[in-house]
A and B are shown apart, each in its own frame.
Chain A
């Protein structure tokens, strides 16, 4: 997958030494430091994907190694007619959209709160970052066992405590993960990704030129007007960036689905389905076809992401 030609070299910020046309030898000396990284990345990331592409057209199940053959589009047909895969595409879209939108919204709220000065702002900021710094598997385990568990989890425990406070013994004790499995996965991910959104948006808010806001305030602009006409337009780029980078990470999420529900109860997203087809069904051909489909889906998001990053980038180098 190569970069779409989005980036126009903005402006040559750093021109080489005065007026010398780049000679062939000099230009290779220039390229040399770039080559190890470039070659390494092509070999380790692009070549395996080509392999996936090739295997996706083959009939290849590890349990029947003798029947390996060219299969044409069979794997793709099988993948698209497989109801499990279709539902996992829907799950991926729902999961990603819900997590990114809710955490973006919450992150914006928190960033606006933290943009003001108040007592202990540093402590609050540190507390808010904590969820993002818990290892994803550990966070999923925490939610699964310590919070969602129906008999001794913190959520039901708190409900019981609240009800007992008012003298009732019949607190509702829902089984969070079986009654709403997808929402359970989403909430745990929102908890982890809100700090990410908050950090980027807070950086955006704080890069807002203070003198313009001050001038608007002096000219009698109301708080709402300042937000609508100054803060929000400035923040739009950062909102886009946070949403798109978040999407790229959440689309690929494997840890939470694997740990919380093991892909059961309609929570299997595409990465988990590919993993299961590969690891449990040993159908290499179909797993590869599914992998290619994941890449195709990601490319749609990635194109937008690249465009956003490149517009931020152009602004920076201008």
Chain B
């Protein structure tokens, strides 16, 4: 009897979980479905769920009919995200090394200083950055965003990398150096393999946050260096029948984040909690 009751209870549990999952997924599913409908079908009331599918929305997003191509902003976003992620790793890994494997004095204070800069709201430094950029002729320049995104993600990256490097077994490091292994050998042969998943997680988080950023990009870029989120703000005011196009745009711009995030769900948690949750 108990086993039957257990099976029923487990079944009910699963159904409840599925119902909640589908409920949360509904707006997302609706976005994808609408992006595949024709504009008249997308704007009916009540909604026409079973309307024929078409790629017209995607064609229009990529410039058919209007001639405005989304590729420059997408390339800008990709540049800003990838280069800033590379810079973040280049700065964060040595710093994390100095905070975990060969810790400096007062290393926890340094670590918390890094975290506290993350809590400084973005608007706090916006105006001076704008003024300096304006005077230096750096407005509407993608490299300015690269620098700012690097500073935005560096504290998270240092925290994450530190928690991963802390897992490197010290005994092995000591044994290796007693055996006469030089620093490069130790880094490549011992630290590297242990830290590799951590580096991947750090890169993922850094990429996602850079890709999503709007405020700095909106204030500091214009026609030339505008990123994909800035491009999306062109859809803020309604433009007649454009629902399929908006949804196609939302799907396309979110696609890199969706792919990266789904592929590395576990890394997502570690990164979002600054490495505090393992």
Chain A interfacial positions (CB closer than 8 Å to B):
1-10, 12-14, 16-17, 22, 27, 30-34, 36-38, 40-41, 44-52, 55, 109-110, 113-114, 116-121, 123-139, 141-147, 149, 151-152, 154, 156-158, 160-161, 164, 191, 194-196, 199-200, 202-204, 207, 238, 241-242, 245, 248, 251-252, 254-255, 258-259, 262, 270-271, 274-275, 278-279, 284, 287-288, 291-292, 294-295, 298-299, 301-302, 305-306, 309-310, 312-313, 316-317
Cβ A259 vs Cβ B236 within 8 A: yes
Q: Which 5 residue pairs of A and B lie closest in terms of their CB atoms, listed nearest first?
A: A51-B128, A48-B125, A118-B14, A33-B94, A138-B250
Using CB atoms, name the residue of chain B closest to A34: B98
Which stretch, B28-36, B62-70, B135-143, B189-197, touches the partner chain A?
B28-36
**7 extra A-B contacts, CB within 8 A, seeds A36-B94, A113-B20, A117-B10:** A32-B98, A37-B158, A52-B127, A124-B20, A124-B21, A135-B229, A309-B115
Say yes or no for B188: interface residue by CB 8 A criterion: no
Kindly state the separation between the CA atoms of A317 and B125 in the bound complex, as whole angstroms: 34
Q: Are A120 and B124 also in contact (CB < 8 A) when A33-B97, A135-B250, A146-B31 are?
A: no
Q: Is the CB of B262 within 8 A of A34?
A: no
CA–CA, A299 to B238, complex, Å? Answer: 38
Q: Which residue of A lies closest to B214 (CB)?
A: A255
- 11 A-B pairs in the complex with CB atoms less than 8 angstroms apart: A7-B109, A37-B92, A41-B154, A52-B125, A137-B214, A141-B236, A145-B238, A152-B45, A245-B273, A313-B276, A316-B278
Q: Are A154 and B47 in contact, CB atoms less than 8 angstroms apart?
A: yes
Residues of chain A within 8 A (CB-CB) of B113 are 2-3, 38
- Determine whether the beta carbon of B28 is less than 8 Å from that of A138: no
CB distance from A23 to the nearest CB of B (A): 13
Chain A residues, Cβ within 8 Å of B110: 34, 38
Please give me the residue from chain B that is nearest to A151 by CB atom.
B45
Whether the Cβ atoms of B124 and A147 lie closer than 8 Å is: no
Q: Beyond A141-B250, A152-B243, is A157–B219 a contact (Cβ under 8 Å)? A: no
* Contact status B278-A292, CB under 8 Å: no
Q: Which residue of B lies closest to A199 (CB)?
A: B269
- B239-274 at interface with A (beta carbon < 8 Å): 242-243, 246-247, 249-251, 253-254, 257-258, 261-262, 265, 268-269, 272-274
Q: CB distance A6 to B277 under 8 Å? A: no
- Chain B interface helix/strand/loop/mixed: helix
Q: Which residues of B contact A36 (CB under 8 A)?
A: 91, 94-95
Indicate with 1 or 0, residue by residue over B8-45, a CB within 8 angstroms of chain A CB atoms: 00110110111011101101101100100000001111
CB neighbours (8 Å) of B115 from chain A are 3, 306, 309
Q: How many A-B residue pairs have CB under 8 A?
A: 359
B123 smallest CB distance to A (angstroms):
4
B interface residues with partner A (beta carbon < 8 Å): 10-11, 13-14, 16-18, 20-22, 24-25, 27-28, 30-31, 34, 42-47, 91-92, 94-95, 97-132, 147-148, 150-151, 154-155, 158, 163, 166, 170, 174, 177, 208, 211-212, 214-215, 218-219, 228-229, 232-233, 235-236, 238, 242-243, 246-247, 249-251, 253-254, 257-258, 261-262, 265, 268-269, 272-274, 276-278
| Contact call A157/B119, Cβ cutoff below 8 A | no
Tell me which residues across on chain A come within 8 A of B250, comparing CB atoms: 134-135, 138-139, 141-142
Contact indicator A275/B25 (Cβ below 8 Å): no
B184 to chain A, nearest CB (A): 14
Q: Which residues of A contact B229 (CB under 8 A)?
A: 135-138, 255
Which of B107, B120, B235 counts the most chain A CB atoms within 10 A? B120
In the complex formed, the residue of B with least CB distance to A245 is B273
Given known A14-B170, A17-B174, A309-B276, contact A252–B254 (CB-CB < 8 A): no
**Given the interface contacts A30-B98, A124-B18, does A298 sit within 8 Å of B120 by beta carbon?**
yes
Set of chain A residues within 8 Å of B218, measured between Cβ atoms: 258
**In angstroms, how far is the closest chain A Cβ from the Cβ of B233?**
6
Cα-based distance from A141 to B235 in the complex (angstroms): 7
**B121 with A241: CB separation less than 8 A:** no
B124 → chain A, closest Cβ, in Å? 5
A110 to B114, CA, bound (A): 32
Contact across chains for B108 and A10 when beta carbons are under 8 A apart: yes
In the assembled complex, the CB of B18 is this many whole angstroms from the nearest CB of chain A, namely: 6
Known: A135-B232, A271-B123. A142 touches B247 (CB 8 A): yes
